[in-house]
Amino acid sequence: MTENTEKRGFQTEVKQLLNLLANSLYSNKEVFLRELISNASDAIDKLRFAAVQDQSVYGDDSNLHIRLSADKEKKTLTISDNGIGMTRDQICEHLGTIAKSGTADFFKNLSGDQAKDSQLIGQFGVGFYSAFIVADKVTVVSRAAGVAPDQAVCWESDGTGEYTVSTVTKADRGTDVILSLKEDDKEYLEDWTLRNAVTKYSDHISVPVEMLETVKPEKKDDDKEEDKSEDNAEEKAEDKKEETAEYTEWKQINEAKALWTRSAKDITDDEYKEFYKHISHDWDDPLTWAHNHVEGAQEYTSLLYVPKHAPWDLFNREQKHGLKLYVQRVFIMDDAEQFMPGYLRFVKGVLDSNDLPLNVSREILQDSKLTSKLKSGCTKKALQMIGKMAKDENQDNYKTFWKEYGSVMKEGLVEDYDNREEIFDLMRYASTHNDNSEQNVSLQDYISRMPEKQKNIYFLTASTYAAAASSPYLETFKKKGIEVLLMTERVDEWVMNQVTEYKEKKFVSVTASDLDLGDLEDKEEKEKQENQTKENEDFLKKVKEALGEQVTDVKVTNRLTDTPSCVIGQGNQMMTAQMRRILEASGQTLPDEKYTLEINLDHDLVKHLAAETDENRFKDWAQLILDEAILADQGALKEPARYVKLVNSLLLNK
């Protein structure tokens, strides 16, 4: 330690993360290489970007590269880059804290179950700290661009609670990350292990990755064809110089061509998957991807991916999302959210535009016409990519997709009017056609099963599948054999209030007060209902009087068979119980709901009520029939105690 050495503690979250890394994540060890190479490549991207404004940042070192070297004696593996580097302040900020928003929430989400946590942490991206998976000491020596050689900084930690920083001398610009490997992880000193891993993680990045190679000079007689190629001209010259001694030199081992700039037909699935992991830090393969070069009015390349798992903070407003933006191959920014609508915020990938200016900023992007054109292009590409999965004969991927993102996709029906039709095609719902809660019925399926007479698409929103499936509103539909879509997510009701039709078929809620079955209505039934109403005018009036203010009307219904009664909200802009709960939970005060009570005259309970002569008991029975209907509809009563008392007294016949 020198005089200028300073000891500092890690931020609490970093300590938690390091603990987790040291104790659990053995199955995915290799990710440390991906993360460190990824950081080195980011640092070089940042230097290139800075050079767009000011060429002088390159100094006399414009040959950008990442280098890996292993020292078997010292048992160290070093990853070096000559990128942007870090100052003393930056190193403390970047390698002592976690800047990601919602970090605290993330840690709350950890379960202690290793398998699950490892999944989560993969999504979170452990970045630099993954070095401690294989190293018991990590030393980072960095010299930022434009900083004097004797003002470089050395950061060191054993990955427990603290780290030290000191000022040191470093000849070249950039960063060396030196890993002192754990006893069990010596394999990362082996040339072939490294080569394998590095090619896997770096073939698609645009920076050359180099490793030292031992060159054995060959005798002239052995000279083969390949030595005649231009690439080897230099080597050949050197060969001649040192014909006897072995020597080492840096050799590029990756392709070093940004993946998305290559032609799709030359890229393997594995390369696409690795590139996804590079940009997303996910440990899992992506669900699907789409790679498009677009020419014409705008020229751009997009490479979009759908992750297999929704991010843990998908519904957090501050969640970082968006594409990695490049302009003419130069990296501009991460998380450019301007190119994807909100409902596609889970899409990851790269957008490389030829038309945006190199000095583009978030502010400029915000209100540029070009941005909205690119957004519309990328949105279409993303929807096509998802649509392809939806049409796939093997539905496994789409099932996963729908489970992870279905409720977010529904937001698109309201958010993205232009693409509403395409988004509707992607919807999957539970339905009375099935006897389980699986959301696997598309609107096309539904329409294909509609009897000729049926003009509308019928749906029911409820708070759970069980409540929906046993809803009394379905009785008449069951009797007539008409399919009803069962929608049980919070977002459904909001969406269904805003959309009116699909392919010229109107959406009709089965709980609508003016439920019109059109041609599906049975003439006989309708007549029966009218007759019953006429015949029971006095009875209906009496029930209404008994219930007083609680109801706006009491009617005879033919939508029920096994249930005595149901309640209907007011008007066509009816609010279901579900919506009411959402609004109330958000702090709005709503006027008491008044209901129209519909009763089924064929039901024994209603017959019993009609036969009741005692005025008080008539009131009680009427109240019971109303309460039951409200309970079935809302899943709760305002005064449950009163209801229990009422039931008890009726049961005991008091």
Positions that interact with ligand ADP (CB under 6 A) = 35, 39-40, 42-43, 81, 83-86, 94-95, 125, 127-128, 175
Ramachandran bin of 504, using left for φ above 0, alpha for ψ from -120 to 50, beta for the remaining angles? left
If one asks whether residue 127 binds Mg ion (CB under 5 A), the answer comes out as yes
Count CB-CB contacts under 10 A for residue 459. 21
What's the CA angle centered on 422, arms 420 and 425, to 5 degrees? 110
Smallest gap from residue 85 Cβ to ligand ADP (A)? 6
Contact range with Mg ion by CB under 5 A, out of 47-55, 120-128, 267-275, 330-338: 120-128
Q: Which does 43 bind (CB under 5 to 8 A by kind): Mg ion, ligand ADP, none?
A: ligand ADP
Q: At what angle do helices 604-611 and 615-634 cross, to 10 degrees?
A: 150
Q: Name the residue nearer to ligand ADP (CB basis): 35 or 620.
A: 35
Show contacts of 364-367: CB within 8 Å, 24+ apart. 365/336, 365/338, 366/338
Residue 48 Cβ vs ligand ADP, minimum distance, rounded to whole Å = 13
Q: CA-to-CA distance for 226 and 320, rounded, in angstroms?
A: 49
127 vs 208, which CB is nearer to Mg ion? 127
CB 461 → Mg ion: shortest distance, Å? 43
Nearer to Mg ion, 127 or 412 (CB): 127
Nearer to ligand ADP, 35 or 352 (CB): 35
With vertex at residue 381, the alpha carbon angle to CA 378 and CA 386, rounded to the nearest 5 degrees, is 125
Residue 83 interacts with which of Mg ion, ligand ADP, none, CB < 5 to 8 Å by class: ligand ADP
Q: Is the dihedral of CA 492, 494, 495, 501 positive or negative?
A: positive
Q: Can you tell me which of 31, 39, 386, 568 binds Mg ion, judged by CB under 5 A?
A: 39
Q: Least distance from C-beta 100 to ligand ADP, angstroms?
A: 8
| SS3 sequence of 298-314 | CCEEEEEEEECCCCCCC
Could you tell me the smallest distance in angstroms from the CB atom of residue 307 to ligand ADP? 16
Rg (CA), the chain: 34
Could you say whether residue 431 binds Mg ion (CB under 5 A)?
no
CB nearer to ligand ADP: give 128 or 502.
Answer: 128
For ligand ADP, the closer CB: 39 or 476? 39
**Helices and strands: H and E segment counts in the chain:** 22, 22
Question: For Mg ion, how many residues bind (rule: CB under 5 A)?
Answer: 2
Nearest-approach distance from CB 592 to Mg ion, in angstroms: 55
How many residues in the chain?
Answer: 654
Q: Could you tell me the strand order of the sheet in which 286-294 lies? A: 286-294, 300-307, 348-353, 323-327, 330-336
Report yes or no: 129 and 22 within 8 Å, Cβ to Cβ. Answer: no
With CB under 5 to 8 Å by kind, the binding choice for 626 among Mg ion, ligand ADP, none is none
Quote the least distance from Cβ 311 to ligand ADP, whole Å.
Answer: 14
349 binds, among ligand ADP, Mg ion, none (CB under 5 to 8 A by kind): none
Q: Which helix (H) or strand (E) holds 405?
A: helix 396-415
Nearer to ligand ADP, 85 or 412 (CB): 85
Which residues are near Mg ion by CB under 5 A?
A: 39, 127
